[in-house]
C-alpha cells in the first residue's frame, strides 16, 4: 500500500477524523486513484476495525469513532466518485433495515449509484418495512436496495419484502439486497431479485435488473 494510503488507513483505525480528512486530500493531491483511497485505505481500515472488534481489541466506542473518521473521508471523496454526465438511469429507494444502524455501506452504494446516473432516495437507517412500502408508493422507483449488517436484522429484509407484497407494490420494483452477512443464497431464499457484495457490483446489478 502507498505510504499516503497507509497513513489514512491508520488514522481511520485511530478514529482521527481531522487527520483522515487531511490524509485523503493529500493522497488525492499526490495523484493516488480515488478507487484506491476508497478500497485500500478507507474500506480496508473498516475491515481491520471489524476484526479488532471480533478479537475484543476494540469495543463499540472505538468502532464508532473509526466509522465517523471514515465517513469524513468518504464525504471528501464523494464528488470524485460521483462523476456526472450520465442521464438518470432510474430511481432507487435505499435504506438500512429495521433495527440496524450501520449506514456506511448503504451510503456508499447510494453514492456509487448516483455516480452511475441513478436518482437515489436514501431513507437512512432503522427503516421499518412499512416505511419502505410507503416510499415505493410515493416515489415510484424501479429499484429498492436493502442493507443489513447484523445477522439478527437480516431477517427484516424478508419482512420488508413481505410488506411490499402486502401493500401490492412488490411487482412494481426490483429488490436488491446487500451488507456483510448477506449472501446470494440468502437473497434467493427470501425472494429478493439480486445480491451484490460491494458498491461497484451493486451498480452493475442495478443496471442488469432494469
| Binding footprint of ligand B12 on the chain (CB under 6 A) | 43, 46-47, 49-50, 53-54, 60, 63-64, 67, 99-106, 108-109, 145-147, 149-151, 176-181, 196, 198-199, 202
Which run of H or of E encompasses 207?
A: helix 199-209
CB 2 within 8 A of CB 32: yes
Whether residue 98 contacts residue 161, with contact meaning beta carbons closer than 8 Å, is answered with no
CB crowding 151-168: b at 16 or more within 10 Å, else e: eebbebbbbbbebbeebe
Report the nearest approach of ligand B12 to the CB of residue 194 (Å): 7
Which three three-digit cell numbers place residue 4? Answer: 499516503
C-alpha cell at 94: 435505499
Closest alpha carbon to 41 in 78, 12, 77: 12
Kindly tell me which of 51 and 166 has the beta carbon lying closer to ligand B12.
51
Separation between Cα atoms, residue 12 and residue 207, nearest integer Å: 32
Minimum CB separation from ligand B12 for residue 101, in Å? 4
Beta carbon nearer to ligand B12, 39 or 172: 39
Task: Round to whole Å and give the CA distance between 145 and 189.
Answer: 16
The nearest distance, CB 23 to ligand B12, in angstroms, is 18
Q: Please name the residue that has the C-alpha cell 460491494.
A: 198
100 versus 122: smaller Cβ distance to ligand B12: 100
Q: Which is nearer to ligand B12, 30 or 92 (CB)?
A: 92
Between 60 and 84, name the residue whose CB sits nearer to ligand B12.
Answer: 60
Residue 31 or 193: which CB sits closer to ligand B12?
193
Smallest gap, in angstroms, from Cβ of residue 20 to ligand B12?
14
User: Least CB distance from residue 126 to ligand B12, whole Å?
Assistant: 7
Q: How far is the CB of 145 from ligand B12 (least distance, A)?
A: 3
- Strands, E assignment, the chain: 90-96, 118-122, 143-147, 174-178, 194-195
Amino acid at each position: 500500500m502507498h505510504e499516503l494510503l497507509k497513513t489514512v488507513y491508520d488514522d481511520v483505525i485511530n478514529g482521527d477524523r481531522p487527520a483522515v480528512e487531511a490524509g485523503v486530500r493529500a493522497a488525492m493531491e499526490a495523484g493516488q486513484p480515488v478507487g484506491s483511497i476508497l478500497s485500500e485505505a478507507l474500506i480496508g481500515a473498516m475491515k481491520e476495525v471489524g476484526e479488532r472488534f471480533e478479537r475484543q481489541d476494540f469495543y463499540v466506542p472505538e468502532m464508532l469513532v473509526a466509522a465517523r473518521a471514515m465517513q469524513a473521508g468518504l464525504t471528501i471523496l464523494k464528488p470524485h466518485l460521483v462523476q456526472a454526465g450520465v442521464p438518470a438511469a432510474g430511481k432507487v429507494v435505499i435504506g438500512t433495515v429495521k433495527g440496524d444502524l450501520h449506514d456506511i455501506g448503504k451510503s456508499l452504494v447510494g453514492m456509487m449509484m448516483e455516480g452511475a446516473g441513478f436518482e437515489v432516495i436514501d431513507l437512512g437507517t432503522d427503516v421499518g418495512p412499512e416505511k419502505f412500502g410507503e416510499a415505493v408508493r410515493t416515489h415510484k422507483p424501479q429499484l429498492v436496495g436493502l442493507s443489513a449488517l447484523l445477522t439478527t436484522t437480516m431477517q427484516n429484509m424478508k419482512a420488508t419484502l413481505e410488506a411490499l407484497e402486502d401493500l401490492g407494490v412488490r411487482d412494481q420494483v426490483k429488490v436488491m439486497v446487500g451488507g456483510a452477512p448477506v449472501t446470494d443464497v440468502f437473497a434467493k431464499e427470501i425472494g429478493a431479485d439480486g445480491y451484490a457484495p460491494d458498491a461497484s457490483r451493486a451498480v452493475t446489478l442495478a443496471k442488469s435488473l432494469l
